[in-house]
Structure 1
Amino acid sequence: MNKKADLILSSNAVFTGKEDHPIKASIAIANKKIIAIGTKEEMKAYADENTKTYDFKDQLITPGFHDFHLHIMQGCVFLNSVNLFDARSEAEAVKMVQEFADSKPDEPWIIGYMWDAGYWDPQNLPTRHSLDQVLPDRPAILFHAEMHYAWVNSKALELANIDKYTKNPEYGEIEKDVNGETTGILYENATSLVTNISHTFTEEQQEKMFENFLAHAASVGVTAVNDMYAPFQDSIEEYKFFKKFEDKDELSLRLYLWPELNGDIEYAKQLRKEYQSDRLRVSGLKQFIDGVVTSRTAYMLEPYADAPETRGETTFSQETYNTWVTEADKEGFAVRFHAIGDGAIRMALDAFEEAQNKNGKRDSRNAIEHVEVIHPDDIGRFNELGVIASMQPDHFAMSERGVYTDRIGKEREKYVFIINTLQKTGAKLAFGTDFPVDILDPMLQIYRAVTRIDNSGKDVWHPHERITLSEALKAYTAGPAYGTFTENEFGTLEVGKIADIAVLDRNLFDIPAEQIKDAQTVLTILDGQVIYEKDSHLKK
């Protein structure tokens, strides 16, 4: 006698992740797991009066989306901040900030994101003076679209005790003008001088923001995320906070934690032991090698085309990375490096290779984050060393293409975001958003990977680097499951696997590629339970 299902989902378009195209199928779910997949007729044997039956007709059923790279608490703040991505001048950005500030009279700090002077006319970086005109007494911190530098006003500098005499922190810069006065731009670790005081929230505020984030994630079909170490966060306090939600049974997504790789391996082992549940788990360690291209802090093998005096810089030395990775590898940790420039990517690969040489080869599943500009000699090393390419395809359309190309020059531009080339050479792909650097909705990343349409909205940036829709969906489901060593539980729709599922309002395989970004989630399931439903498709 068949076990009875809690839920049965049916559609003419089910993307299991085992095939390259959707199939017509019904899925029976009981006790968190998929217990059967077959025809509607076959699934009737699993139904009784308590079974909830859904019919999605031609809407696409997929495995739940798994965001392989984001920053949760910063993202929580983002959802309650001013988004400046549409600003096309410094004055326009200031006006948006003023309107937001007027709408939030009780907020002590004005926090914003997503401005990019590459889209402005003129393309000059902003200064504190324009913000001072509208916010003379309220502090403001506004993060550049890539999150590696910030624009602040004089009040923020005053509260952070930053003036013309303040020295730069390690791997950071307080920009100053020709007279030595602060401009209001803070690079890399210098931003933490302000975030240390701007990002202080009460527990009640944090809970409300996190609840908002969980609801938002469910509404875009995201059932798992990887929270990556970043200098601006207090990881340990955040982990304790997440644990409170888990203990209350209110953690409605799987949260894979990647604390800092910093040489303190005993503490990392303690954290791994402490957080090891189905919903909250330390999966490995993460560190930065470089910054980003637009601020010329990404580390290059050769000087920047438009600034020959610099190649960018690294947070630590090759020797330090080698030591830390070898030690972490010996203790069974996966390691992930933020590496954007070709020099940084090579350093990451060298560190992974050194660990293999010292400890022997194992199924380590290390990853490089972003992989924006790569030297051709290093492409094949991803497959050779078993390194995952963790990428966010929409990032190449977030930066103004002309500015990006000016920075690196025409020759290196040939090797920007080479998603398809990496895949063809055997590298495993895993996609994410880097939220709040980009929005949490997976559709934008999938659309960009499939079309390669650049920021102009018309031109295709290296058409040979497009991948298929099936490959993009797998990179957002099975790829991250592999990257967290959970491919036997998640990432595809198969009998015996846990039922983490998303349903979209259209079959992505049946629409023009440019419409992919408009698709919306209508149902999200985690552990066999409906956690989001837009419109009722329940038949009984």
Structure 2
Amino acid sequence: MMMSKKIADLIVSGNAVFTGLTDEPQPASIAIVDNKIIAIGSMEEIMIYKGEETKVYSFEDQLIMPGFHDFHLHAMDGAVAMETATLFSARSEAEALEIIREFAESRPDDPWVIGSVWDAGYWDTKQLPDRHSLDRVVSDRPALMFHAEGHYAWVNSKALEIAGIDRNTENPAFGIIGKDENGEPDGLLYEKAMGAVIRHAYNFTKEKKRELFKNFLAYASSLGVTAVHDLFATESLAILTDYDLFKEFEDKGQLTARIHLWPALDGNLDRARQLRETYQTDMLRVSGLKQFIDGVITARTAYLLEPYTDQTDTCGETSFPPETIKKWVVDADKEGFSIRFHAIGDGAIRLAFDAYEEAQKENGKRDSRHSIEHVEVIHPDDIHRFKELDVTASMQPDHFAMSERGVYTERIGAKREQHVFSIHSLQKAGARLAFGTDFPIDILNPLLQVYRAVTRIDSSGVTVWHPEERITLTDALKAYTAGSAYSTFREHELGTLEVGKLADITVLERNLFEIPAEEIPDTKVQLTIVDGKVVFEHTETLIEK
């Protein structure tokens, strides 16, 4: 596995190298010149590439592997969330309010008080909050608290006032303004109704955006994340979207993760083509288009084939008319775009497949590598369509442990609950898996996703949710590396450690194949290499000269 003799810039060596080509790690050494892997072999074979200036990283049983490739996140939204009040630990509304109060007092100069990841499903009463309780702890400034799934928010009266939302404000398309028994806004905003508030809360200066993005990149590197997919979130979050900012970082050599951009699939193909032409480098590129078909189960905005079990007058709804969705797909597919749909309910997943199938009929079969995001509640009759239509299942395994399992099951009932996050069933049926986090809906740590995929431990922290849906550690790591690379047409340069591929490498402080599964999420990163450059280094990393 050698190329012509050169002097390496870096050599990374250890007893546990997981290349992704085999199922187990093996002892190996890797020589890197510039941004490419030029040789892999034994220490003796690779030492011929060592020169006076070569940096040699010698590891023992730490796991050396391809860099984590997060297939689904929201970079700038996540960067903002890193600076917000974190409410996931609250087990009552009072606890959540105390966290918010302390956070607000610690940041008196912030114009908005922003929080995230609250979930009333975990509270003692399981009752949704309202603006009045939030007013009691934050009255002088607007406050915006995103639900854990990011599809609804809890706001105070000041935020409603600034956004111009009152009893006479009509619901936007695919959005609901929560109202109390007197018809007044209750402080809960669902789906696109959040937009009027977010537009004000997220109106940051360019300098603030630079600071946010810099923090995001540093965080990603510290977690061994070497490539990410920044997906269109919502129209209201578009205020954060700043591809020129990403380009500025690339031009200055400060882009320490590969960024794959997925702007909105919205019928505007002129804009999509222009963006694709503008951003097309190894470090920053438009990879395709993304859109939402539905919402989430807990808010009953996910689109189901049959009504919700605990509210039989609704199946949820689609974010756009099905015919519009299909037309957008056919037209974009014809232009060679890969497409990704947020589809959580079985109705939404079926509609995504129907749209992809229609594109194949209209445009002919091609290597399109379309994806479906989340794939939470799938009808068993649709599982085979992943392989049949050559669609990637883009999943975030920790999501099934984020929602309180009892609440989730109440929404959909026992029958549909059998087909929730069916990762192994999808894999067995020939679906390609690609893993990510959906950061900031979940934390950016890839090892939490890997842990859930191999254990299926649910929100109780003890019980296994459908043990037959567990997958192996090898398959979980491949879904987080090679699966993501393939699904964005980069399998020839990313996703495995091979001669000729780009040098994106992560070293973990422990060998995941040798430790108990419960210790996986707490394993730290020792070293992160992106494009042949060390972008994160634990202080105790051993370097030889």
The residue type paired with residue 227 of structure 2 is: A
Aligned to 1:190: 193
The residue type paired with residue 128 of structure 2 is: L
Aligned match for 1:489, one of 461, 474, 493: 493
Gaps of 5+ in 2: none
Q: What secondary structure, in the 3-state scheme, does the structure 2 residue paired with 1:24 have?
A: strand
Q: What secondary structure, in the 3-state scheme, does the structure 2 residue paired with 1:448 have?
A: helix
Indicate the RMSD between aligned Cα atoms, in angstroms: 0.9
Which deviations, in whole Å up to 9, do the C-alpha atoms of 1:370-407 show, x marking residues without a partner? 00000010000010000000000000000000000000
- 1:538 and 2:543 matched: yes
How far does residue 248 in structure 1 lie from its aligned partner after superposition? 1.5
How far does residue 146 in structure 1 lie from its aligned partner after superposition? 0.2
Q: Distance in 2 between matches of 1:280 and 1:235?
A: 20
Aligned to 1:101: 104
Aligned to 1:168: 171
Q: Distance in 1 between matches of 2:328 and 2:471?
A: 35
How far does residue 206 in structure 1 lie from its aligned partner after superposition? 1.1
Confirm or deny: 8 A CA contact 1:229 1:235 kept in the other structure.
no
- 1:275 and 2:279 matched: yes
Aligned to 2:222: 219
Confirm or deny: 8 A CA contact 1:131 1:153 kept in the other structure.
yes
Aligned to 1:428: 432
Instruction: Name the % identity.
Output: 64
Q: Distance in 1 between matches of 2:129 and 2:101?
A: 15
Instruction: State how 1:331-346 maps to structure 2 within 5 Å.
Output: 331-346=335-350
Q: Distance in 2 between matches of 1:236 and 1:112?
A: 17
- 1:210 and 2:213 matched: yes
Q: Distance in 1 between matches of 2:500 and 2:93?
A: 54
Q: Distance in 2 between matches of 1:492 and 1:80?
A: 34
The residue type paired with residue 543 of structure 2 is: L
Aligned match for 1:511, one of 515, 528, 536: 515
Confirm or deny: 8 A CA contact 1:235 1:259 kept in the other structure.
no
Aligned to 1:380: 384
Gaps of 5+ in 1: none
Confirm or deny: 8 A CA contact 2:360 2:366 kept in the other structure.
yes
Aligned match for 1:319, one of 304, 317, 323: 323
How far does residue 282 in structure 1 lie from its aligned partner after superposition? 0.4
Aligned to 2:38: 35
Confirm or deny: 8 A CA contact 1:525 1:532 kept in the other structure.
yes
Q: What secondary structure, in the 3-state scheme, does the structure 1 residue paired with 2:44 have?
A: helix
Q: Distance in 1 between matches of 2:197 and 2:214?
A: 25
Q: Which moved more, 1:127-136 or 1:240-249?
A: 240-249
Q: Distance in 1 between matches of 2:542 and 2:367?
A: 42
Instruction: State how 1:387-536 maps to structure 2 within 5 Å.
Output: 387-534=391-538, 535-536=540-541
Distance 1:235 1:254, change over 3 A: farther
- 1:4 and 2:7 matched: yes
Aligned match for 1:158, one of 161, 164, 171: 161
Q: TM-score, normalised by structure 1?
A: 0.99
Q: Distance in 2 between matches of 1:269 and 1:399?
A: 38
How far does residue 467 in structure 1 lie from its aligned partner after superposition? 0.3
Aligned to 2:58: 55
Aligned match for 1:233, one of 232, 237, 260: 237
Confirm or deny: 8 A CA contact 2:507 2:526 kept in the other structure.
yes
Aligned to 1:294: 298
Confirm or deny: 8 A CA contact 2:76 2:241 kept in the other structure.
no
Q: Distance in 2 between matches of 1:440 and 1:532?
A: 15
Q: Distance in 2 between matches of 1:539 and 1:246?
A: 30
Q: What secondary structure, in the 3-state scheme, does the structure 1 residue paired with 2:543 have?
A: coil
How far does residue 171 in structure 1 lie from its aligned partner after superposition? 0.7
How far does residue 536 in structure 1 lie from its aligned partner after superposition? 2.4
Q: Which moved more, 1:232-241 or 1:92-101?
A: 232-241
Aligned to 1:118: 121
Confirm or deny: 8 A CA contact 2:141 2:158 kept in the other structure.
yes
Aligned to 2:87: 84
Which deviations, in whole Å up to 9, do the C-alpha atoms of 1:471-503 show, x marking residues without a partner? 000000001101111110000000010100000
Distance 1:385 1:235, change over 3 A: farther
How far does residue 222 in structure 1 lie from its aligned partner after superposition? 0.4
Confirm or deny: 8 A CA contact 1:430 1:483 kept in the other structure.
yes
Aligned to 2:75: 72
Aligned to 1:135: 138
How far does residue 237 in structure 1 lie from its aligned partner after superposition? 5.0
Aligned to 1:362: 366
Which deviations, in whole Å up to 9, do the C-alpha atoms of 1:341-368 show, x marking residues without a partner? 0000000000000000111100000000
How far does residue 247 in structure 1 lie from its aligned partner after superposition? 1.5
Distance 1:506 1:89, change over 3 A: same
Q: Distance in 2 between matches of 1:54 and 1:136?
A: 54
The residue type paired with residue 129 of structure 1 is: H
| Structure 1 stretches of 4+ moved >6 Å | none
The residue type paired with residue 536 of structure 1 is: T
Q: What secondary structure, in the 3-state scheme, does the structure 1 residue paired with 2:237 have?
A: coil
Confirm or deny: 8 A CA contact 1:340 1:371 kept in the other structure.
yes
Which deviations, in whole Å up to 9, do the C-alpha atoms of 1:71-129 show, x marking residues without a partner? 11110101111110000111110100000000001001011100000000100001111
Q: What secondary structure, in the 3-state scheme, does the structure 2 residue paired with 1:517 have?
A: coil
The residue type paired with residue 37 of structure 1 is: I
How far does residue 234 in structure 1 lie from its aligned partner after superposition? 2.2
Q: Distance in 2 between matches of 1:461 and 1:45?
A: 51
Q: What secondary structure, in the 3-state scheme, does the structure 2 residue paired with 1:440 have?
A: coil
Which deviations, in whole Å up to 9, do the C-alpha atoms of 1:4-36 show, x marking residues without a partner? 111111111000000011011111111111111
How far does residue 236 in structure 1 lie from its aligned partner after superposition? 8.8
Q: What secondary structure, in the 3-state scheme, does the structure 1 residue paired with 2:381 have?
A: helix
Confirm or deny: 8 A CA contact 1:290 1:298 kept in the other structure.
yes
Q: What secondary structure, in the 3-state scheme, does the structure 2 residue paired with 1:471 have?
A: helix
Q: Distance in 1 between matches of 2:124 and 2:461?
A: 19
Confirm or deny: 8 A CA contact 2:142 2:157 kept in the other structure.
yes
Q: Distance in 1 between matches of 2:239 and 2:25?
A: 40
Confirm or deny: 8 A CA contact 2:76 2:240 kept in the other structure.
no
Q: Distance in 2 between matches of 1:425 and 1:281?
A: 31
How far does residue 323 in structure 1 lie from its aligned partner after superposition? 0.7
- 1:146 and 2:149 matched: yes
Q: What secondary structure, in the 3-state scheme, does the structure 1 residue paired with 2:411 have?
A: helix
Aligned to 1:349: 353
Q: Distance in 1 between matches of 2:99 and 2:516?
A: 34
Which deviations, in whole Å up to 9, do the C-alpha atoms of 1:30-73 show, x marking residues without a partner? 11111111111111111111111111100000100010000111
